[in-house]
Structure 1
Amino acid sequence: MSSHYGPQYAPAGDVGAALMVVDSRLRSVQRGAGVPDPEEQALAERFIDSLGPESAGDLLDGVCTLVYMFMTWLRKAHEDEGKDVIEYVVPRLVASMGRMPRSVRPEAIPTLAGLVIAAATGLSPSLWREQYGEWTDAEMNALEVTAFLLADHINRITEDPDFATRLITEALSRAEEG
């Protein structure tokens, strides 16, 4: 049975911009100690500051699409191993967010855990979240952290520091061709 929260009913948003933000964070961590490149961080901050209300909404939808795509890949990878993605990914994600109190406020963690579980079960994260009203300030940064942590997790299990980014860019290329 189809759900009203299925991804086919959700806007994809600006996946390219969302990937740029997540990839920028991944690269800053790969450089060591999580110290961002000042020039790269300034560019990302100027980009985010330049977004109007519609563009900001597109970016949020884009990050939700990344979460959905990452969780879909993780679900398939775990199913191939006879494992449940929710059992293996969500506790690690929640624990990681809990260790990041300056980046992720504690009140945002349950919502983002629910959002990831929604994605793991085939629901659109943006539509699932929409039923609870507007995004809160606490959830904004936590959503970016969630996409980053999922991408980092994929990169670690594939032992390829660019796998998650390549996964999305290849999917975008296929979508443009089709």
Structure 2
Amino acid sequence: MPSPCDPRYAPVGDVDGALMVIDSRLKAVHDGRTGTDTEQQQLFDQLVASLDLKGVRDLLDGACTLVFMFMKWLRRVHEEHDRDVIEYVVPSLVATLRMMPRSVSPEAIPTMAGMAIAAGTGLSPNLWRRQYGDWTQEEMTALEATALLLAEHINRITGDADFATRLIGDALNRADREPGAGAAEAAGEGFGPGWGEGVE
């Protein structure tokens, strides 16, 4: 009997919008900016302000899809090295979130850990989260940070500052070319051994 958190039942959401936010944050980090770029923040604020309730939910679902796709790729890479992605990725994710008290409230961290574990075991993070009611404002910020940290983790493993963004873009393109194939199913496909050589 399939799990109610099976990814096939999950809404994909606005992956493009979520990816735009994460890519913007990654570029800010690599440009050496310690704070949020004012222009980028204004664009983000305008995006959020333009969304209705459905748009906000779609953006959250899109961010959850990113978490799922990143964890799926990380799981494949770690399995190539006979390692458990949950053991090697989730503790460092939690530790980093704890070092971000101005952006991520301590109360939101267990939920982010649960979502990453759900994704790492092949479950939909947004359906897993849905069991516990509506999103809180603190969780929304923490979700963005979680997707950002997973993307940066992938970029460090591959030694390529744009790899995580390209991973999602390629998966979306494959999903468009192959009717019936979802973006989440396409994530991580086509990247053989060698991409995980940086796993420590």
Residue in 2 that maps onto 1:170 = 170
Residue in 2 that maps onto 1:17 = 17
* Amino-acid identity (%): 62
Match of 2:113, SS?
helix
Residue in 1 that maps onto 2:137 = 137
2:143 & 2:74 partners in 1: Cα distance?
A: 18
Q: Per-residue deviation at 1:41?
A: 2.1
Residue in 1 that maps onto 2:6 = 6
Bigger mean CA offset, 12-21 vs 26-35:
26-35
- The code of the aligned residue for 1:45 comes to D
- Do residues 29 (structure 1) and 32 (structure 2) align? no
Residue in 2 that maps onto 1:149 = 149
Residue in 2 that maps onto 1:76 = 76
Residue in 1 that maps onto 2:61 = 61
Q: Per-residue deviation at 1:110?
A: 0.3
Match of 2:56, SS?
helix
Match of 1:102, SS?
coil
Moved segments of 4+, more than 2 Å: 33-38
1:88-167 equivalence runs, <5 A: 88-167=88-167
- The code of the aligned residue for 1:83 comes to R
TM-score normalized by structure 2? 0.87
2:158 & 2:80 partners in 1: Cα distance?
A: 14
- The code of the aligned residue for 1:112 comes to M
Q: Per-residue deviation at 1:33?
A: 3.8
- The code of the aligned residue for 1:66 comes to L
2:93 & 2:102 partners in 1: Cα distance?
A: 16
How many residues end up aligned between the 2 structures?
178
2:37 & 2:106 partners in 1: Cα distance?
A: 27
- The code of the aligned residue for 1:12 comes to V
- The code of the aligned residue for 1:88 comes to Y
Greater fraction helix: 1
Which structure 1 residue ranges, 5 or more long, are not aligned?
none
For each residue in 1:69-123, what CA deviation from the matched residue of structure 2 results, as whole angstroms up to 9, or x when unmatched?
0000000000001100000000000000000000000000001100000000000
1:2 & 1:144 partners in 2: Cα distance?
A: 29
The alignment yields a C-alpha RMSD, in angstroms, of: 0.9
Q: Per-residue deviation at 1:45?
A: 1.5
Q: Per-residue deviation at 1:4?
A: 1.2
1:83 & 1:2 partners in 2: Cα distance?
A: 26
1:122 & 1:49 partners in 2: Cα distance?
A: 33
1:140 & 1:36 partners in 2: Cα distance?
A: 17
Q: Per-residue deviation at 1:20?
A: 0.3
